[in-house]
Structure 1
Amino acid sequence: MPGGSQGKTIVVGGDGRYFSPEATQIILRLAAGNGIKHIILGKDAILSTPAVSALIRSHKTDGGILLTASHNPGGPENDFGIKFNISNGGPAPEDVTNSIYKITETISEYKSMNLPDLDLSKIGEFNHGPLKVTIVDSVSNYVSLLKEIFDFGMIKNWLHHTTPKPTVLFDALNGVTGPYGRAIFVDELGLSEDSIQNCVPKPDFGGHHPDPNLTYAHELVEAVERNNIEFGAASDGDGDRNMIYGKGAFVTPSDSVAIIADWAEKAIPYFKSGVKGLARSMPTSGAIDLVAKDKGLECFEVPTGWKFFGNLMDAGRLSICGEESFGTGSDHIREKDGVWAIVAWLSILAAANKEQPGAGINDVLMKHWKKYGRSFFSRYDYEECESEGAEAMMSHLRKLFADSSFVGSTLKASSSDTSFKVAEADDFSYTDPIDGSVSKKQGLYIKFTDGSRVIFRLSGTGSSGATVRLYVEKYSKNESEYGLDAQVGLKPLIEVALGVSKLKEYTGRDKPDVIT
């Protein structure tokens, strides 16, 4: 913490996973022993990641500690994690995390104060040894912020005064957003309890893998299809990711952020005065780039990691951004925000119904594609691969890219005559336009002459093995293709990607664990 810890105020909270209460008591003792003045703590140590960012910003604190392993499973045999956010509310940048790591190499002692456990269930202000602790309602500050951003009256009018009434289902996957979902969907929007499910945070997320995608949010997908629900949505363990899914309509995260950007000024009061700029992570499809071009806005391509968006936001050059990994957000805070994105979609549908009564998710998608074209996009995740094999695959690709004959070569699909000519192949690097910092080796990519891309990254916040992520993207202006399933439209490109990488040979995997 810049300037040391003496006299500082920090926010503490997390997603309620196993060991969170015990870790919170340890943090309180360490804070007291190291001169922290004031801790703002979520009731029962519960705060979503976006809510922590909002509290840091609204209370102008010196940062925050989040007890979360994001979208990874919780429980005695699963993951636990700790994040530090800085005073702008965003994830600690690399210079801060590097400094923390250096301290771990030389630390020989630490200071702690022997204090009894504090009752985390009581809201109020408490003296805990020399430490001032304010325990706050986990939800109210964040919901108040959303009510400043969105027109809840417009959404309620659409939900309650449309014939027939739209049906809604929100699934928190027993993660942190359960109380937030109930506060918004039931208390604020006046929907019944049937509009929410899995909304009690549990230390093991009720056995769920709290990652909002088609594989792990299958209960939501099945309920939406079975009950013909117009609007379904899920959030992840710590509340920073989201999935939008209606009857027969899955919205890819790449399309989601592009559509939010396209509708922002029309559907969301927060953006009535204009959008400053747009951005996406490098693996995310170029759908948002097309919106930026149409609206004459700057559009940034950054490495994966929300901290890269924060610099642009703080400089006043970015309003809306997203990652293909189901993260979407804006400059209202400095974290991706799953519930914000879900309410943004409710706002878009409410606004769309003013123009086209009865418009649903599919109608919004088709209208967008007819204007901008469709970026077919998919991600294949091969989880917990042997690290040695995964690294060998990446080395193979780097050697291939270094061969001067690779660019200009033609790669052919295995099951058809479809082929792709290589236009460019490299390891993505990024120079931050605000502070000039350079981030290298952020993902291997191949761009083809028809605009298609394949990308390979080793990723994962889990505790074992390596996750290989394969991204494939194909752009189309052919309206006859817009209704195709993405896997059908992308099949030749996927075959090329698997062939050129020799993924099966290096990892031993026949198929991915997750397809999104």
Structure 2
Amino acid sequence: MAIEFGTDGWRAVIAEEFTFGNLEIVVQAIANYLQNNDQTEEGIFIGYDNRFLAEEFAQTAAEVLTANGIQAIIAEENLPTPVTAFAIRDEGLDGALMLTASHNPAPYQGIKFIPDYAGPALPEITDQIEEEVAKVQESGEIYNCESEETDKIKEFNPKSNYLQHLKDLINFSDQSLKILTDPMYGPGAGYLTDIFADTEVEVEEINDYRDPLFGSGMPEPTEEELPELIDRVKTEDYDLGFALDGDADRFGIITENGKYLSPNQVLFLLLDHLVESKEETGGVVRTVATTHMLDKIAKEHDLEIFETPVGFKYVGELMLEEDIIIGGEESGGLSIKGHIPEKDGLLACALMAEMVMDREKKLSVILKEVEKKYGKLISERLDIECGSEEKSKVLERIENFDLNKIAGYKVIDKITKDGMKVVLEDGSWCLMRPSGTEPLIRVYVETSDHELMKKIQTEVRDELQI
């Protein structure tokens, strides 16, 4: 069985591929990687989410690290991924393991390695870990902890330090707000209540208890998965609705009138807030699939814009290398200057509340004002099923994509950082790329007009024959 690290760690179905035995193989491989790179002095923190057997999987990981002579520090309770990542920097550790399958369905569990810089592992790191996995599978050499050695495993809870750090980043006014939050049965439950504890903000939570089945839904904060939150915000006079995914690194934002904001909208609203209200300076980093509204705002304020391949790991890498105000991706990840280079849904929610309190206006009003100032763009992603045999042909067509005009507009730029992105003379753009985890071809389009969007989608699909 091939154990492969995807865009954010290794995930598999519990009891099928994600077993205690396979987890031991992966953790032994990570231990080998750490020893090969002389990263065993300060210890590894282990966090875990609310999924089935999460604590037991975390304990197994701790025992394998301990047997390899690496100090294991296990979380005292279920934690969000960004809190686990924060613990690395806060405690000066060599890295962390996070037992989570994020927003995947309930039968899944996963593990991700977070290096010492407290952001997602880059491909050169996960490639080395995968090589070590193959070696461990071939040799069968796994170090197991003797019972008396379990006393060496330490425990730690980074929650209070994380909350203080977030409060230091955010400036809440004395304005009163009424917020409904939905942590979607994940470990983010209670965090937003604690963040606003010393303010005039009234927070109510739903689905704030552990349910490994996630209420028979998906722990993904999309419009389709948040009907209760949307309905209650709209009908019960809340100022804001906030949602978090299964490990609280992604967010969902609902306006006072029950409108779901896309992550793209949240990103450009927060960039406008950071430069206008907080007078932040620096660059802006987004993935190739993320809204160009960020580019418009950056241009207005003479800020440099950076574009990366899809995946927050690339955003986080730029945030380590450059002076970045905000980094984000269209799938719901963001971070800001002064925070860890890891996506954080709790941070996103707190910043949205800060913005609403600072401007003393309804969120829907702020959105209209920002779009009036910079111009409105609409974005849409199509996920098109594509079998393996057909996929190779489609990928060849993407690579050789040579339309000079789409929907009547000239193609003025082609970007091949990740798939094929074409930019049109009116500012519209289209990105074509394969999914890294599913048998899908993704087609992203952003433009200023719904009719134009449909024309672009149709012509691109015809050219790709999908």
Between the aligned partners of 1:349 and 1:200, the Cα distance in structure 2 is: 28
C-alpha change, 1:131 and 1:389, in structure 2 (3 Å) is farther
Between the aligned partners of 2:218 and 2:463, the Cα distance in structure 1 is: 25
Displacement of 1:385: 5.2
Q: In the alignment, what sits opposite 2:16?
A: none
Displacement of 1:420: 3.0
C-alpha change, 1:496 and 1:297, in structure 2 (3 Å) is closer
Between the aligned partners of 2:225 and 2:395, the Cα distance in structure 1 is: 27
For structure 2, the 5+ residue unaligned runs are 1-33
Q: What per-residue deviation string (whole Å, max 9, x for no partner) do you get for residues 105-140 of structure 1?
A: 333133333445xxxxxxxxxx9536341232x532
Between the aligned partners of 2:316 and 2:442, the Cα distance in structure 1 is: 24
1:141 corresponds to which letter in structure 2?
A: N
Q: Is the Cα contact below 8 Å between 2:420 and 2:433 reproduced in 1? A: yes
Q: 1:229 aligns with which of 223, 238, 242?
A: 238
Q: What per-residue deviation string (whole Å, max 9, x for no partner) do you get for residues 275-303 of structure 1?
A: 32111111111111122112222111111
Q: 2:272 aligns with which of 262, 285, 290?
A: 262
Do residues 40 (structure 1) and 40 (structure 2) align?
A: no
Q: In the alignment, what sits opposite 1:367?
A: 369
Between the aligned partners of 1:134 and 1:171, the Cα distance in structure 2 is: 28
Between the aligned partners of 1:450 and 1:504, the Cα distance in structure 2 is: 22
Do residues 109 (structure 1) and 143 (structure 2) align?
A: no
Q: In the alignment, what sits opposite 1:479?
A: none
Displacement of 1:505: 6.3
Between the aligned partners of 1:87 and 1:235, the Cα distance in structure 2 is: 25
C-alpha change, 1:396 and 1:312, in structure 2 (3 Å) is closer
Q: In the alignment, what sits opposite 1:396?
A: 397
Do residues 472 (structure 1) and 445 (structure 2) align?
A: yes
Q: 2:408 aligns with which of 420, 439, 452?
A: 420
Do residues 346 (structure 1) and 357 (structure 2) align?
A: no
Q: In the alignment, what sits opposite 2:210?
A: 201
C-alpha change, 1:445 and 1:5, in structure 2 (3 Å) is closer
Between the aligned partners of 2:74 and 2:277, the Cα distance in structure 1 is: 34
Instruction: Using the TM superposition, name which of 343-352 and 327-336 deviates more.
Output: 327-336
Q: Is the Cα contact below 8 Å between 2:186 and 2:247 reproduced in 1? A: yes
Pairs within 5 Å for 1:147-158: 147-152=167-172, 154=173, 157-158=174-175
Displacement of 1:266: 5.4
Do residues 311 (structure 1) and 317 (structure 2) align?
A: yes
Q: 2:183 aligns with which of 148, 151, 172?
A: 172
2:128 corresponds to which letter in structure 1?
A: S
Do residues 14 (structure 1) and 48 (structure 2) align?
A: yes
Q: In the alignment, what sits opposite 2:326?
A: 320
Do residues 453 (structure 1) and 429 (structure 2) align?
A: yes
Give RMSD over aligned pairs. 2.5
Between the aligned partners of 2:94 and 2:290, the Cα distance in structure 1 is: 32
Between the aligned partners of 1:420 and 1:43, the Cα distance in structure 2 is: 59
Q: Is the Cα contact below 8 Å between 1:14 and 1:66 reproduced in 2? A: yes
Q: 2:453 aligns with which of 473, 476, 493?
A: 493
1:158 corresponds to which letter in structure 2?
A: Q
Q: What per-residue deviation string (whole Å, max 9, x for no partner) do you get for residues 293-344 of structure 1?
A: 1222211111112222233222342121111111121131110111101110
Pairs within 5 Å for 1:39-188: 39-44=72-77, 46-74=78-106, 78-107=107-136, 108-115=139-146, 128-129=149-150, 131-136=152-157, 139-152=159-172, 154=173, 157-159=174-176, 166-185=177-196, 187-188=197-198
Q: Is the Cα contact below 8 Å between 1:393 and 1:502 reproduced in 2? A: no
2:371 corresponds to which letter in structure 1?
A: W
C-alpha change, 1:196 and 1:388, in structure 2 (3 Å) is farther
Displacement of 1:97: 1.0
Between the aligned partners of 2:260 and 2:215, the Cα distance in structure 1 is: 24
Q: 1:283 aligns with which of 289, 311, 324?
A: 289
C-alpha change, 1:379 and 1:59, in structure 2 (3 Å) is same
Q: Is the Cα contact below 8 Å between 1:267 and 1:347 reproduced in 2? A: no
Q: What per-residue deviation string (whole Å, max 9, x for no partner) do you get for residues 233-253 of structure 1?
A: 211111111121111533222
Between the aligned partners of 2:359 and 2:464, the Cα distance in structure 1 is: 45
Between the aligned partners of 1:79 and 1:491, the Cα distance in structure 2 is: 39
Q: Is the Cα contact below 8 Å between 1:174 and 1:208 reproduced in 2? A: no
For structure 1, the 5+ residue unaligned runs are 117-126, 160-165, 354-358, 412-418, 430-441, 476-488, 507-516
Between the aligned partners of 1:298 and 1:500, the Cα distance in structure 2 is: 30
Q: What per-residue deviation string (whole Å, max 9, x for no partner) do you get for residues 149-191 of structure 1?
A: 1123x1xx211xxxxxx43211111122113133235x44465
Q: Secondary structure at the match of 1:28?
A: helix
2:55 corresponds to which letter in structure 1?
A: P
Q: Secondary structure at the match of 1:350?
A: helix
Between the aligned partners of 1:283 and 1:250, the Cα distance in structure 2 is: 20
Q: Secondary structure at the match of 1:178?
A: coil
Q: Secondary structure at the match of 1:374?
A: coil
Number of matched residues? 428
Between the aligned partners of 1:388 and 1:229, the Cα distance in structure 2 is: 50
Q: Secondary structure at the match of 1:238?
A: coil
Q: Is the Cα contact below 8 Å between 1:139 and 1:179 reproduced in 2? A: no
1:474 corresponds to which letter in structure 2?
A: T
C-alpha change, 1:468 and 1:279, in structure 2 (3 Å) is same
Q: Could you state the TM-score of these two structures normalised by the residue count of structure 1?
A: 0.77
1:448 corresponds to which letter in structure 2?
A: L
Pairs within 5 Å for 1:213-228: 213-228=222-237
Displacement of 1:19: 3.0
Between the aligned partners of 1:336 and 1:36, the Cα distance in structure 2 is: 27
Q: Secondary structure at the match of 1:215?
A: helix
Q: 2:262 aligns with which of 242, 252, 258?
A: 252
Q: Is the Cα contact below 8 Å between 1:235 and 1:339 reproduced in 2? A: yes
2:178 corresponds to which letter in structure 1?
A: T
Between the aligned partners of 1:43 and 1:267, the Cα distance in structure 2 is: 38
Q: Could you state the TM-score of these two structures normalised by the residue count of structure 2?
A: 0.84
Displacement of 1:495: 4.1
Q: In the alignment, what sits opposite 1:439?
A: none
Q: Is the Cα contact below 8 Å between 2:230 and 2:260 reproduced in 1? A: no
C-alpha change, 1:191 and 1:305, in structure 2 (3 Å) is same
Kindly, what percent of the aligned residue pairs are identical? 28
Q: Secondary structure at the match of 2:265?
A: helix
